[in-house]
Amino acid sequence: MEQQQHHLKIVVVGLGQCGGNFADEFARLGYRAIALNTSTTDLKDLTAVPKDFRVHIGLSGRNGAGKDRRLGQKSVLSNRDKILERVKTLSRGADVLLLAGGMGGGTGSNLGDLVNLLAPSGLPVACLVTIPTESESGITKVNAIYGLNNIIRSKLASLIIVDNNKILKIFPDASIADFYSKANQLVARTLAEFNSTNDEQKSISIRSFDSEDFRKVFLSGGVTVFGAASVKVDGGITEDAIFSRLKHIWDSSGLLAEGFDYTTASLAAVIFYAPADVLERSSANIMEKLNQSIKKITQGAAVYTGIYQMKEPGPVKIFTMLGRLSLPNRIINLMSQAAIEGQHLAQKVKQRMPTLDLTEIESMEFFFEDTPAFDDKASMANKQNNLMAYLKDPDKEVRKRAVAALGEKADPKTSSVVISLLNDPDEEVRMEAAKALRRISAAAEGTVQ
């Protein structure tokens, strides 16, 4: 079924939760798909990817990578053979591997390693990635930049960048439950429509956009942007109306990251589906003019066009794709956010828990041992010294307790010190000293009171 309907037989390989969700979405559209994840929980949640192709690549005893890019990378690399075997089994006779992953996650950010692993198999490798929203954390943004950079450095046939920041702009009423699924559906369906061959039941080819054209534009070796629009046309189509529509699709690019320098594009595709009456009223030189405008804005891109006459009346449908663009401005903006927020977070992580300054309280002691716990002469001497210091302490409570402790020891050698406390300015201390002295004398006489 897939073979007749699609220009290119694309096999989708999702990495991490986001990648798996995209794989699931493409599987629902009839594509062959495989999901690789460090998390068994995420794999269980998939519904359309066949169970045999939900591959757990976790390190033993771990579930997920917890945003730790290095842990995710270890998981990918140490499961190399398992991944190669599963992808090879699924991709027999395929034209392209489309690897999908969320830049920012500990697992998905290693998509570049997966490209390097799968590129030697001989199939061209395209990537579909998401970049995080503004509100996501510094660590996510730093992971995303590392992940993107690795992908750009790998042997890549195409890069599609979905900007999650745009989901709420396009779906302002999205709920928490369908936030991602709406976005994934829109991206997967638009790409799948582009990849669908003309349905001869519904339209007649006037100028055909064939599979080789799609292959050239889609696998052009740079960033790819694509989109579709329906235009209600009264009368014929005009070059101005179509060109401004194309420009709008490229500028806003739906959910894809925006801010492209169009002069970097080297390939462009424009395909129309229009009812017979609209085509009859449209001048033949529109396509010439349109080609000129596209060449001008892209400074010479090769333009591939397709025109189809729809058998049923309806609005004009336009599909367009630009290939081999350089990175859009949105990535520069993400880089600077990652640098600022990432640095701040890294500093926080480096900081140790501050210790408390105890200098003001470290000499305080509130309880005295009645008897030394063990026979340690040094410690005893120390305690004795402390006791002598406490007898001179400005706090009468401390002096009182110290003299009471001497009374309890009832050591005749301390009698002279205790006697000196009989002159203490505080009456309670003097009384405690008197009591201690009685105990010391009693002990000296051999009777303890």
Ligand X SMILES: Nc1nc2c(ncn2[C@@H]2O[C@H](COP(=O)(O)OP(=O)(O)OP(=O)(O)O)[C@@H](O)[C@H]2O)c(=O)[nH]1
What are the residues binding ligand X (CB under 6 A)?
16-18, 21, 38-39, 64-67, 72, 102, 104-108, 130, 132, 136, 140, 162, 164, 180, 183-184
Beta bridge pairs of residue 56 = 37
Q: Which chain residues interact with Mg ion by CB under 5 A?
A: 17, 39, 64
Q: Which is nearer to Mg ion, 107 or 414 (CB)?
A: 107
- Among Mg ion, ligand X, none, residue 407 binds (CB under 5-8 Å by kind): none
Q: Which is nearer to ligand X, 118 or 217 (CB)?
A: 118
- Nearest approach in angstroms of CB 75 to ligand X is 9
The angle subtended at Cα 114 by Cα 92 and Cα 55, nearest 5°, is 65
- Nearest approach in angstroms of CB 99 to ligand X is 12
- Among ligand X, Mg ion, none, residue 194 binds (CB under 5-8 Å by kind): none
C-beta atoms surrounding 144 within 10 Å: 27
- Among Mg ion, ligand X, none, residue 338 binds (CB under 5-8 Å by kind): none
- Among Mg ion, ligand X, none, residue 140 binds (CB under 5-8 Å by kind): ligand X
Query: Which alpha helices (DSSP H) does 161-284 contain, by range?
Result: 167-170, 179-194, 211-218, 239-252, 276-280
83 burial (CB, 10 Å; 0-12 / 13-18 / 19+) is buried
How far apart CA 312 and CA 305 sit, in angstroms, is 21
- Nearest approach in angstroms of CB 18 to ligand X is 3
Q: Which is nearer to Mg ion, 12 or 156 (CB)?
A: 12
How far apart CA 94 and CA 84 sit, in angstroms, is 15
Q: Which is nearer to ligand X, 65 or 223 (CB)?
A: 65
Q: Which is nearer to ligand X, 184 or 220 (CB)?
A: 184
CB 245 within 8 A of CB 275: no
How far apart CA 176 and CA 17 sit, in angstroms, is 16
Sign of the C-alpha dihedral, residues 187, 189, 190, 196? positive
Q: Which is nearer to Mg ion, 33 or 270 (CB)?
A: 33
- Among ligand X, Mg ion, none, residue 151 binds (CB under 5-8 Å by kind): none
- Nearest approach in angstroms of CB 189 to Mg ion is 24
- Nearest approach in angstroms of CB 162 to ligand X is 5
Beta bridge pairs of residue 98 = 12, 126
- Nearest approach in angstroms of CB 23 to Mg ion is 14
Per DSSP bridges, beta strands 203-207 and 267-275 are unpaired
